[in-house]
Chains A and B, each alone.
Chain A
Amino acid sequence: MGWLDTLMKHLSPGDQTQQSKQAAKERLKLALTYDRGGLAQGTIEQLRDEIIQVIAKHLTINKDEIEINFDRTSEQDKLIASIPLRMVPRSRSKAGAATTTAEPAPTRPSKKSSARQ
């Protein structure tokens, strides 16, 4: 039946069916993060905004590229923040924005007022 399966897969629109377990995994991980920490909905977004405010006081960052995730191993739970610094002007390699609400990053690190949103 192999060729028939292959054919059906090619005919199915957008190969969406391949992804449902991935969706399950990602949704579960986020839900469990909140469950485990007893966090209120929106905590990560709030955390993200506050981290941006603090970092932006001292460094030039690209707010659109900040990623904040929780990760769990058998050893420990971790909060992982990826905050790319804008040291040298260069073109963005990817548009992996964590949220779409962030303003453009400030151009100078000392410009405290722009960090307040």
Chain B
Amino acid sequence: MAGRVITVTSGKGGVGKTTFSANVSAALAALGKKAVAVDTDVGLRNLDIVMGLENRIVYDLVDVVEGRCRLQKAIIRDKRIASLHMLPAAQTRDKSAVSPDAMAKICAELRSQFDFTIIDSPAGIESGFQNAIAGADEVVIVTTPHVSAIRDADRVIGLLEAAEKQQIFLVVNRLQAEMVRRGDMLDIPDILDILAVELLGIIPEDELIVVSSNRGELAALHAVSSAGQAYKNIARRLLGEDVPLMPMAEDKGLLKRLTRLFKSQ
């Protein structure tokens, strides 16, 4: 098997890399693909708790790198979806415990076993970032419509181009349709104009993301979440399907909601 290794990165922290990695891995698994989400944020691991797998960790990435266990042993299999897996980062070590060469080797091994290896990278552009992109075939940059996140995304795009990564995609997270409509939030065309990379998807602001992560559940596996639907759409696009962007004009006004309620009956 020659799977795809996709690194999820952003430069800025807190834009939703981990949530994205968890949910897109789950959505790909739900579509029947064998997927593994890899946490490379050594010292600040979080993918496990977002995915609800924090109690099942025995070995981690650094154990594999340092030869204390085989890769297979460190990978946790999700009980909710058979084809979903997770490789946790070490919590008691730092980024220097992993090297780009070691990551590239692990990625090569994962590529032979999984359809999709989704690598969640730490914030920043230092060694942790270099580790995370070392084995990547494709890179997804997660940004939000905020000036700080976009500026950092641009910096990351420059570094990825310097590292000769050819396949770079953009995901705009936490878009608020109402603010865009008012002209108080950068719109997708604005962001694409500034960053000049290919758009993979848009994820609307959705309170259910917080609720899901509170419970260690994955929004992409639940029907009602609009962000969850966006993750599912992104997974299908990764599989080569031509999925149109979700209509942005999601109006949360009471009147609009009532109108929709009546229309649907």
**A binding-site residues for B, Cβ under 8 Å:** 1, 17-22, 24-25, 27-29, 31-32, 35-36, 72-74
Contacts of B194 in A (CB 8 A): 25, 28-29, 32, 72
B67 at the interface (CB under 8 A from A): no
**B binding-site residues for A, Cβ under 8 Å:** 147, 150-151, 154-155, 158, 180, 182-187, 190, 193-194, 196, 253, 255
Contacts of A74 in B (CB 8 A): 196
* Minimum distance in angstroms from B156 CB to a CB of chain A: 11
- Sample of 14 further A-B pairs with CB below 8 A, known A22-B183, A25-B186: A1-B253, A1-B255, A17-B184, A21-B183, A24-B147, A24-B190, A25-B190, A28-B150, A31-B147, A31-B151, A32-B154, A36-B154, A36-B158, A73-B196
* Minimum distance in angstroms from B104 CB to a CB of chain A: 28
The complex places the Cα of A31 from the Cα of B147 at a distance, in Å, of: 10
* Minimum distance in angstroms from B48 CB to a CB of chain A: 34
Q: Are A21 and B196 in contact (CB under 8 A)?
A: no
Nearest opposing residue in chain A for B152, CB measure: A35
Q: Are A72 and B196 in contact (CB under 8 A)?
A: yes
Contacts of A36 in B (CB 8 A): 154, 158
Contacts of B180 in A (CB 8 A): 21
Contacts of B190 in A (CB 8 A): 21, 24-25
Nearest opposing residue in chain A for B197, CB measure: A74
- Whether A17 touches B183, Cβ cut-off 8 Å, given contacts A27-B147, A28-B147, is yes
User: Which 5 A-B pairs rank lowest in CB-CB distance, beginning with the nearest?
Assistant: A74-B196, A18-B183, A20-B184, A21-B183, A32-B154
The complex places the Cα of A17 from the Cα of B182 at a distance, in Å, of: 8
* Minimum distance in angstroms from B193 CB to a CB of chain A: 8
Q: Are B182 and A18 in contact (CB under 8 A)?
A: yes
* Minimum distance in angstroms from B74 CB to a CB of chain A: 38
Q: Are B186 and A24 in contact (CB under 8 A)?
A: yes
Q: Are A35 and B154 in contact (CB under 8 A)?
A: yes
The complex places the Cα of A28 from the Cα of B187 at a distance, in Å, of: 13
The complex places the Cα of A28 from the Cα of B196 at a distance, in Å, of: 14
Contacts of A19 in B (CB 8 A): 183
Contacts of B185 in A (CB 8 A): 21
Contacts of A20 in B (CB 8 A): 183-184
Contacts of B253 in A (CB 8 A): 1
The complex places the Cα of A19 from the Cα of B185 at a distance, in Å, of: 10
Nearest opposing residue in chain A for B256, CB measure: A1
Contacts of B158 in A (CB 8 A): 35-36
* Minimum distance in angstroms from B125 CB to a CB of chain A: 12
Contacts of A18 in B (CB 8 A): 182-183
